[in-house]
Chain A
């Protein structure tokens, strides 16, 4: 008799004692963890509480980059899993430009290959 069979027999015996039906019995399972838990603001001491200091930007988890393929085989592009598509590396977000403007800093210029200057024809 396997462990599962023994557990099922135990449960059935228990339900018989109370005159119940073991067919509706379900094992509790821990909920699958999906990302960061929401609503972590708890009043229970010792429970997972939010840290006191604001999280610096560097602490924001970036979407994991896929492992490089062993050979450069062209594959069809798949849509990003996130609702917010990650911008190409080196392209400042609209928010970065806004923050820079508000902070009075020079606005970050896109790296080569992006923006208007990438289309500027060089004198030959």
Chain B
């Protein structure tokens, strides 16, 4: 873990209020006990879609404008920030400092990241992405890096 990751991790620990943390963790434990991970992931995708529709990003021309639009919305609800990195066959989305991991616990990353898939997919759809492009979260980093990595690209369904 780098110094930057340590700083992000520190910030992330402070992003979920004590008022809600135990509730959220109990909620996550009940979800995990009662539903298969893919179902919970789908539920969180839909929650992400709703959030994105409630916080619309205007149509942008450039990647930089889009990143700023995303971050204005995340900033408004204290949900961290994103960086967009163009790659040869995908657009990488690196989301840092969200309260999600702290709110639901470290064992929920497999399905909690579905929230970001739904949110970014919805925002990109409004920007006019072709149907072939989807947002998919990468596997949670094993180095404890407090960031969610996603890709906008072509994936096997």
Interface residues, chain A, with chain B CB atoms under 8 Å away = 36, 38-41, 50-57, 59-60, 82, 84, 87, 93-96, 98-100, 102-105
Find the A residue at minimum CB distance from B127.
A95
Q: Are A54 and B63 also in contact (CB < 8 A) when A39-B54, A103-B154 are?
A: no
Find the A residue at minimum CB distance from B56.
A36
Q: Are A52 and B128 also in contact (CB < 8 A) when A60-B59, A102-B153 are?
A: no
Q: Is B90 an interface residue (CB 8 A)?
A: yes
Q: Is B89 an interface residue (CB 8 A)?
A: yes
Query: A38 is contacted by which of B46, B55, B122, B126 (Cβ under 8 Å)?
Result: B55
Q: Are A41 and B125 also in contact (CB < 8 A) when A102-B153, A103-B133 are?
A: no
A56 surroundings in chain B (CB, below 8 A) = 125
> By the criterion CB–CB under 8 Å, are A100 and B62 in contact?
no
**What separation, in Å, do the CA atoms of A58 and B154 have in the docked complex?**
22
CB distance from B48 to the nearest CB of A (A): 10
A99 surroundings in chain B (CB, below 8 A) = 127-130, 133
Q: Is B53 an interface residue (CB 8 A)?
A: yes
- B137-155 contact mask (Cβ, 8 Å, vs A): 1 or 0: 0000000000000001110
**What separation, in Å, do the CA atoms of A36 and B126 have in the docked complex?**
15
Residues of B in contact, count (CB < 8 Å) = 35
> By the criterion CB–CB under 8 Å, are B130 and A105 in contact?
yes
CB distance from A87 to the nearest CB of B (A): 6
> By the criterion CB–CB under 8 Å, are B58 and A84 in contact?
yes
CB distance from B115 to the nearest CB of A (A): 13
Query: A52 is contacted by which of B46, B56, B125, B133 (Cβ under 8 Å)?
Result: B46
> By the criterion CB–CB under 8 Å, are A41 and B126 in contact?
no
Q: Are A41 and B50 also in contact (CB < 8 A) when A55-B126, A60-B126, A100-B130 are?
A: yes
**What separation, in Å, do the CA atoms of A33 and B75 have in the docked complex?**
23
B76 surroundings in chain A (CB, below 8 A) = 38
Q: Is B31 an interface residue (CB 8 A)?
A: no
**What separation, in Å, do the CA atoms of A40 and B153 have in the docked complex?**
29
Find the A residue at minimum CB distance from B124.
A99
A98 surroundings in chain B (CB, below 8 A) = 63, 86, 91
Query: B60 is contacted by which of A41, A95, A104, A105 (Cβ under 8 Å)?
Result: A95
Q: Are A41 and B63 also in contact (CB < 8 A) when A60-B126, A99-B133 are?
A: no
Find the B residue at minimum CB distance from A83.
B58
**What separation, in Å, do the CA atoms of A76 and B55 have in the docked complex?**
36
